[in-house]
Structure formats: C-alpha cells, structure tokens
Amino acid sequence: MKIEENVVLAEHTTFKIGGPAKLFITCESVEDVENAVALARERDLAVYPLGEGSNVLASDEAIEKAVLRISIPGITYEKAGAQTRVTVGAGVTWDTLVDDVTDKGLWGLENLAGIPGTIGGAVVQNIGAYGAVFEDSVISIEVYDLATNSLRNLSREECLFGYRTSLFKQRAGSLIVTHATLELSDTPKPRLGYRDIEDYFADTPAPTLVEIRNAVRSIRAKKFPDLTTYGTAGSFFLNPVLPEEEAVRIAAKYPGMPLFPMPEGGVKVPIAWFLDYRHNVLDMREVRVGKALVWPIQPLVLASEPGATAADVQALATLVIERMKEATGISISREVQWLA
C-alpha cells in the first residue's frame, strides 16, 4: 500500500483536471483496501475509490478526501465446457482484459474494446458500446463493504445493473469493488448489428473475434478526442430513458430521430442526434467555455484543452443542458461523476 498526501488529481484523470487530494492511497490487494479504509477513518476523511479517472471530473480546489486508487491485479481462468469463467482484479485495465480474453478466443467483450478505465470502473458504470453491455457477461462481483468491514459476493441480479448504473453507483462510497467474475464463451457470438460495425464489415462476411475487436478500436479512434492532446471522460451526458408514449411523441416532432427501446423498459432518446447540426435542432459544434469544448465529431463528448479547469467543463455542461431544454424541452443529466 502506497500512501501519499496532496496528490494532484489532474495526473490521475483523463480530463487532466483536478486539485490535490488530501490522501491518495494506492491499493494493490483486498488487505490494502481494508487498511486504507481504516486509515481514512483515523484521519476522519471520506473514502473515494478511483480507477483510471476516465469517468470523473475532479474539482479544481483541494479535495478533503482519502482517494483510494484501486490497483488490484490478476486475471484467472476456469474452464467449464464451452464456457470460461474469468476472475479479474478491480485494478486491471479494461482493455488489457479485452486483449487477454480475445487473444484466447473467448467471446463476449469484443464490442467493448477500447473503453478506457479499470474493471472497477466498468462494474460501477456498467459500461456499454456498440450493442454490448458489461452486465451481459457478469456472474458475480466481489466488494468490500464499508458498513460491515467485510467482503461480500454479489450475484448479477443483486448488482442492480441498468443503463450506465449499478448498485455500486447508487451506494457510492460504501461499496468498493475488488474483483469481478465473468463468463465468456468459446462459441462464436458475433454482434455485428450496430451500424458502424455493419458498415466496417460490409465486404467481410464472417469477421473473426480479433477482427471485430480491432474494428471496434479503429471505429472509436475516429470518434473520440486523442488523449495525448485533449482531456475527456467520453460521453459527458446520459441519454434520457423516457416512457414509450413520451418518446414516441418526441419522435413525431423530429422526423428521422432514432429511438432505442431498452431491455429494462422505456425508450432511450439519443441526445447526440439533437446536438448534431445536420439535424437542424441545435448546432453545438465546438461551442466553448474557456478551454473546454463540445467535441465536433461526437457532441455528447466534452473535451478539455491544456489549462482547462473543472469550472470551464461544468459551465459548458450547464450550457448544453440549458440549450437542450430550451430547444426541445428534454432534460438531460450528467454521466460523469463529480469529485469534490
């Protein structure tokens, strides 16, 4: 366990923004997590688990918390017929896991290739992309429960996964994800229905697992800001999930707008469609506040230039939310977690 004081969070978030955290503790095992929680209590500081900071906007001011950088390593495999159970430490980088399993010929995570962050972050956010969602592969999640100071194993049902949410997000700060057990398959299960993927493989009738993984990465690279130049946390906003009647009423007003029925009920309304100038509702191309800007290729994404502050990003997010409300009456909320 590595204990540091006043660590600048700009160096630990993909927005490259954030003031100094009072305590910054790197936890490489469950025991480290236990000890770090005890230390935070001794110092009377709230605990904040952090992965790679790819879905967090941290305040510019000093952060009076104990930030626990969850770095628990390890990937183990257990084969059962055509299925393989994979148990992975919460600190493993998501894309490292994707490489490992796809190189072994295991299907299930390939459409989620290229998403930044750790396993812990993927569990909390229930990451999704290109027609796939993390929860589809989950068997169980191991957590350290701060209420009982003990480990618990939760089944997929107990995790209350939903669109970019989970029990761990609802109970932020009281459950720390330590391991995840997933089930992946030897049997090919290509999901090629998402439009960008369909177009990519228009001339390839049966792409391999590794080809799909690589295609997803290459499609994504064209959409998101290059993290060597800009900061970002990916999509800043959640697409609202509305009751069917309301979504149908909105769609009737905006011909051509796609709707996405959700498995758990309701219909997802794609905010990027409204923010895209080509649909003549709102033109948010490169709208800026200070050094924060709406990403022109994918307007759901906010980006930061060197020197941007959390205040710039927050003000820009508020502007997008207000303009969206004025133009369409639709309320949107932030996906990115605020750390202060």
Residue 267, Cα to own-chain centre: how many angstroms? Answer: 20
Q: Which of 3, 62, 172, 221 binds ligand FAD (CB under 6 A)?
A: 172
Instruction: Sketch the per residue contact string, 304 through 333, with ligand FAD: x for CB under 6 A, - otherwise.
Output: ------------------------------
Q: Which residues pair with 56 in a beta bridge?
A: 337
DSSP state of 149: T
Sheet holding 2-8, edge to edge: 2-8, 20-27, 63-70, 46-50
Site residue total, ligand FAD (CB under 6 A): 33
- Collapsing DSSP to helix, strand or coil, 326 comes out as helix
Question: Which of 168, 237, 273, 274 forms a contact with ligand FAD (CB under 6 A)?
Answer: 168
Specify the residue, 120 or 207, whose C-beta has the smaller distance to ligand FAD.
120
For residue 69, the minimal CB distance to ligand FAD (Å) is 8
Which has the closest alpha carbon to 164: 200, 108, 117, 101? 117
Residues acting as catalytic residues: 164, 235, 335
Tokens 């350290």, located at residue: 144
Residue 90 found at the interface with ligand FAD (CB under 6 A): yes
Q: How far is the CB of 27 from ligand FAD (least distance, A)?
A: 9
Site string for ligand FAD, 35-64 (x = CB under 6 A): -------------xxxxxxxxx--------
Max Cα distance, the chain (Å): 61
Distance CA 254, CA 271 (A): 12
- Under rule CB under 6 A, residue 128 binds ligand FAD: yes
Q: Which stretch binds ligand FAD (CB under 6 A): 57-65, 127-135, 186-194, 317-325?
A: 127-135
Helix (H, G, I), strand (E, B) or coil at 144: strand
Interface of this chain with ligand FAD, residues 207 to 226, rule: CB under 6 A: 224
Distances (CA, A) of 327 to 46, 199, 248, 322: 40, 32, 18, 9
Min CB(105)–ligand FAD separation in Å: 24
137 binds ligand FAD (CB under 6 A): no
DSSP characters over 6-72: EEEGGGGSTT----EEEEEEEE-SHHHHHHHHHHHHHTT-EEEEESSSTTEEE-SS-EEEEEEEE--
Single out the residue of 129, 159, 162, 126 nearest to residue 262, CA to CA: 162
- Shorter beta-carbon distance to ligand FAD: residue 142 or 183: 142
Question: Applying CB under 6 A, does 239 fall inside the site for ligand FAD?
Answer: no
User: Under a CB-based contact definition with an 8 Å cutoff, are residues 234 and 226 in contact?
Assistant: no
CB count within 10 Å of CB 70 equals 26
Strands 333-334 and 337-339: unpaired
Binder to ligand FAD among 18, 19, 89, 234 (CB under 6 A)? 234
Would you say 237 or 274 has its CB closer to ligand FAD? Answer: 237
Please select the residue that binds ligand FAD; options are 233, 242, 284, 292, rule is CB under 6 A.
Answer: 233
Is residue 240 at the binding interface for ligand FAD, with CB under 6 A as the rule? no
- In the bound state with ligand FAD, the residue whose beta carbon lies nearer, of 59 and 83, is 59
Cβ closer to ligand FAD: 117 or 162?
Answer: 117
Give the footprint of ligand FAD on residues 246-275 (CB under 6 A): none
User: Based on CB atoms, which residue is closest to ligand FAD, 162 or 281?
Assistant: 162
User: Closer CB to ligand FAD, residue 34 or residue 52?
Assistant: 52
Contact 85, 139 (CB under 8 A): yes
Which residues would be at the binding site for ligand FAD (CB under 6 A)?
14, 48-56, 70, 90, 115-118, 120-122, 124-125, 127-129, 168, 172, 176-177, 224, 232-234, 337
